[in-house]
Structure 1
Amino acid sequence: MQTIVIANNKGGVGKTTTASQLAYYLIRDGYSVIAVDLDGQRNLTSALQGARLVGNALEMVETRKPPEFTVAPGELVLIEGDRDVPVNSDDEGLRSVVEVLGGLGGGDFCIIDTPPAFTGLVYGALIAADFMLAPIELKRFSLDGVEAVLRAYVQVQQINKEIGFLGLLPSRFDAVKKTERETLRQVIEAYANLIIPHAIRNRTGYEEAEAQGIPVFEVPTRSGKEAAAEFGAFFEWFMQAIEKKED
């Protein structure tokens, strides 16, 4: 099973959009997917309304026992978020997350959405992960967190030497705004080796998909179709990046 943690210490940068649509695109291609919502805001839980519930994040972390379930090819199951999941986890909480996520299995992929802070909870998820993916918003206050993202990855890599960094995914990109186009250019120059060569634009299609709890490729509007093509291109890149590491 390949475990991908979606992380950034900034809120509102598109983590849940990325996590939910990755899950939907994976099951569309016949993969079995376990989605884990570690964010107390429960946005991923809301965005995956059709997924079969198999556990609760708080109960899982507190008991250190992964839920028991099976997942069929092309099926999406969800360990739902809980508003009482601790925002700040101590070392004990970190070890608990590492243990319980390490005990999950049965799916082809595990997609984990995280809260907007590098707490022990998030570090624990990263220590148990195969990959880290960091959506970033092209606004100055959001870009300030890029160094924190990279620092967290380096720290985790000292323990989890096998974790791969998929990259920085430009998210909620508004191509109409000159400031964001210029910021994207600057980010590409500064992080040429880390920037993912796809940008997820600020489209209403994604908002409609999350509000209805459906894949963006099922949103019938023009924006939905544009978003589906855009995310589909990123998804192809994502699968190639995963397969490259496996080789």
Structure 2
Amino acid sequence: MHTIVVANNKGGVGKTTIATQIAFHLRHAGHSVVAVDLDGQVNLTSALPGVRVVGNALGMVETGAVPPFTTEPGELVLIEGDAEVPVSSADAVLRGTAQGLRSIDGPEFCVIDTPPTFSAVVYGAMLSADYMLAPIELKKFSLDGVEGVLKAFVQVQELNEGITFLGLLPSRFDAVKQSERDTLQLVAESYSALIIPHAIRNRVGYEMAEAEGLPVFEVTTRSGKEAAAEFGAFFAWLRTALQEEA
């Protein structure tokens, strides 16, 4: 199983949208996928209505395991979020999260959405992951946030040598704003080896997809079609990156 954790210690950077659409796109490509909602706000769970639930995040963290389940090719299942998932630095939470995620057996891919803090559940997810993807917003002080992401990754890599940093993904990018275009250029110059050559723009199509629990390529509005083309290009990049690292 290939485990992808979507993480950043800032809120409002589009982690849930990106995690949800990656899961939908992997399913559409014929893969079996389990989506894991570690955020107490349970936004990923809300964005996946009708998806078969195979576990609960709080139960996984507390017991260090998930109930056994099976998946079919092209099936997406969910370990649902729970408002009581602890946001703490407790070692027991870290161990329970890592052990629980490692206990998952069967799906080809695991996509993890995380809370906007590098708490124990996030570090536990990173310790169990094969890949880390960091969405970033292109607003004032965004470079400070990037440094926090990279520091967390380096700390985890000392214990999880197999984790690969996929890169920094500009998210909720507003191309109309000169300030965001300037920040994108600054991030690209400062972190040229880490910036992903795609950007997820601030489009209504993504909001509609998340509100209706749909892959963005099923949103038929103009904004939906633009978002589908944009995310499809990023997903093609992602698949190539995963194959190269495999």
Q: TM-score range by the shorter chain?
A: over 0.9
Give the C-alpha shift of residue 65 in structure 1. 1.9
Equivalent positions of 1:79-228 (< 5 A) are 79-228=79-228
The one-character-per-residue Cα deviations of 1:115-170 (angstroms, maximum 9, x if unpaired) are 00001111010000000000000011444211000000000000000100000000
1:19 has 2:19 as partner: yes
Q: Secondary structure at the match of 1:79?
A: strand
Give the C-alpha shift of residue 183 in structure 1. 0.6
Q: Is the 8 A contact 1:38 1:114 kept in 2?
A: yes
1:36 corresponds to which residue?
36
- Structure 2: any 5+ residue segments left out of the alignment? none
2:240 corresponds to which residue?
240
The one-character-per-residue Cα deviations of 1:205-246 (angstroms, maximum 9, x if unpaired) are 000000011110010100000000000000000000000011
Q: Which amino acid aligns with 2:147?
A: E
* Number of equivalent positions: 246
Q: Is the 8 A contact 1:13 1:142 kept in 2?
A: no
Find the aligned partners of 1:210 and 1:143 in 2 and give their Cα distance: 28
Find the aligned partners of 2:151 and 2:63 in 1 and give their Cα distance: 30
CA-based RMSD: 0.8
Q: Is the 8 A contact 2:98 2:127 kept in 1?
A: yes
Question: Could you tell me the TM-score, scaled by structure 1's length?
Answer: 0.98
Find the aligned partners of 1:107 and 1:213 in 2 and give their Cα distance: 21
The one-character-per-residue Cα deviations of 1:100-124 (angstroms, maximum 9, x if unpaired) are 1111110010000000000111101
Give the C-alpha shift of residue 60 in structure 1. 1.3
1:56 corresponds to which residue?
56
Q: Which amino acid aligns with 1:87?
A: V
Aligned-residue identity in percent:
67
1:77 has 2:77 as partner: yes
Question: Could you tell me the TM-score, scaled by structure 2's length?
Answer: 0.98
Q: Is the 8 A contact 2:68 2:105 kept in 1?
A: no
Find the aligned partners of 2:183 and 2:35 in 1 and give their Cα distance: 32
Question: Relative to structure 2, which stretch is displaced further, 15-24 or 86-95?
Answer: 86-95
Q: Which amino acid aligns with 1:134?
A: A
Find the aligned partners of 2:154 and 2:85 in 1 and give their Cα distance: 25
Give the C-alpha shift of residue 48 in structure 1. 1.1
